Amino acid sequence: MVQHVEQNLQLMTKRAVKAENNATKLKQENALLQVQLKNYKMENEALRLGQSASLAVVKQNADVALQNLLTVITNSQSSIKQLVSGAESLQLVADLLKSIDRISEVSEDGQ
């Protein structure tokens, strides 16, 4: 019976040592995971700050592009108005030239 109790004690001691080893390993793994978590949090915050800066640059670029686009639209509208006005002037000149041909034909017939 004493031998049986001693075997049980040895078995329990082995289990206790094994459990302590597992606990130590788990504590080490937990410490490593805590360090990794801290690093990931810092990296995440850095990415957020970088993203905010990137968004600010994108917004600034969009604003500049919008201003350039509005300038191009204004200039093109002015150019289109000038082109239409020029076309109307050319049409008037063409009509005058047609009239001159008619006037000269009438004066030749009238003489």
- The pTM score is 0.47
Q: Read out DSSP for 21-45?
A: HHHHHHHHHHHHHHHHHHHHHHHHH
Residues 17-41 have a mean pLDDT of 95
**Burial track 83-102 (b if 16+ CB lie within 10 A, e otherwise):** eeeeeeeeeeeeeeeeeeee
Cα–Cα dist 63/69, whole Å? 10
Specify the 3-state DSSP secondary structure of 1.
coil
d(CA 108, CA 111): 6
pLDDT tens, position by position, 63-80 = 999 999 999 999 999 999
User: Is pLDDT of 104 > 80?
Assistant: no
Residue 66: count other Cβ atoms within 10 Å of its Cβ.
10
